[in-house]
Amino acid sequence: MRQALIGIVALLALSPASMAWAEDFETRLSPSPLTDGTRINIAGEGRVKASLDGKTLTISGDFHGLVTPATTAQIYDGLGIAIPGPKAFDLTVTQAMSGTVSGSVTLTAKQAAGLRAGHFYVQINSQKAPDGNLTGWLLPPHPFAGEDVPVAGAGFLPQLDVPQKSGGR
């Protein structure tokens, strides 16, 4: 009984901290910036989930539909959402036209803040798209209601840097 009580107390002591630090992020991987002239080599899609636990960011996801095998994958630290920036970390990626991407990296406090502001993105490169084949911006979870399914309000607008403006009179 006493041991059980100690266990519960210990659990209660630990849980808030771990729950407070566990933050989830997700993204769809879609073709990197392209033109009609380059889309022949820039195709495919995928999904990535990420979890920030303390300073540790863990990434896992999958992809398919590449035209040529994946070569490398990285996390980039953008200047804002959808604004490209420098490479931050390497990830592990299956060297094939479909497969998985994963990694675990340690973030600085500044990087963690950037992640929370939506600045981090995952990029998979491939043989014929060495400067970007699939890209996805890590954002808070945003379940999609489904095509044609109305939702209340404006839907998910990830204005993490620039709060949505309304009611300015």
Partner 1 sequence: MKRILASSVLGAALLGAAAIALEPGPFTAEQSRTGRALYAANCAACHGSELKGAGEAPPLAGSTFIAAWGNRSIDELYNLVKASMPYGNGNSLDADTYRKIVAYVLTANGAQPGNKSFTGNENIAIATIADGKAPVAVAEAAPARGGESGAPRPATSYPATRFGLTVAGALKSYDPVTDAMLAHPKDADWLMYRRNYQGWSHSPLSQVNSANVKGLQLQWSWAMNDGGAAQVTPIVHDGIMFLSNTANTVQALDAKTGELIWENRVGPAPTRAYGATRSLALYGDKVLVPTTDAKLYGLDAKTGKIVWQTVIEDAKEGYSNTGGAITIHGKVLVGLTYCNRYETKHCFISAYDVNTGKVAWRFKTIALKGEPGGDSWNNLPDEFRQGAETWIAGTYDPDLNTTYWGTAQSKPWTRASRASGAGATLYANSTLALDPDSGKLKWYYTHAPGENFDLDEVFERVLVDHGASKDVLTIGKVGVLWKLNRVTGQYEDSAQTVFQNVYDKIDPKTGIPTYRKDVQNSKIGEWISSCPGPAGGHDWPATSYDPKTDLMVIPLHQSCVLMRAEPMEKKIGVGGDAGSQRLFEMPGTDGNLGKLAAYDTKTMKALWSFQQKAPFLTGVLTTDGGVGFVGDFDRRVRAFETATGKTLWQTRLPTSAQGHIVSYAVDGKQYIAIESGLGGGSPVGKPTTLLPNIHHPGNGNAIFVFALPDN
* Burial classification of residue 7, based on how many CB atoms lie within 10 Å of its CB (0-12 exposed, 13-18 middle, 19 or more buried): exposed
Total residues contacting partner 1 (rule CB under 8 A)?
49
Exactly one of 50, 103, 118, 122 binds partner 1 (CB under 8 A); which one? 118
How many other C-beta atoms can be found within 10 angstroms of the C-beta atom of residue 144? 10
CA-angle at 75, arms to 101 and 118, nearest 5°: 115
Q: Kindly state the tokens that stand for 68.
A: 């040529």
Q: Say whether residue 27 binds partner 1 (CB under 8 A).
A: yes
Closest CA to 27 of 78, 95, 96, 70: 78
Give the interface segment with partner 1, choosing from 2-10, 16-24, 75-83, 99-107 (CB under 8 A). Answer: 75-83
DSSP run (H or E) holding 134: strand 129-137
By the rule CB under 8 A, 148 interacts with partner 1: yes
Helix (H/G/I), strand (E/B), else coil: 58: strand
Could you tell me the two tokens for 20?
């407070």
- Residue range at the interface with partner 1 (CB under 8 A); choices 14-22, 48-56, 91-99, 132-140: 132-140
Of 7-15, 91-99, 107-115, 148-156, the segment contacting partner 1 by CB under 8 A is 148-156
Question: Judged by CB, which is closer to partner 1: 22, or 162?
Answer: 162
Q: With binding defined as CB under 8 A, does residue 39 bind partner 1?
A: yes
Contact residues: partner 1, CB under 8 A:
27-28, 30-40, 45, 79-84, 118, 135-137, 139, 142, 144-145, 147-159, 161-162, 164-169
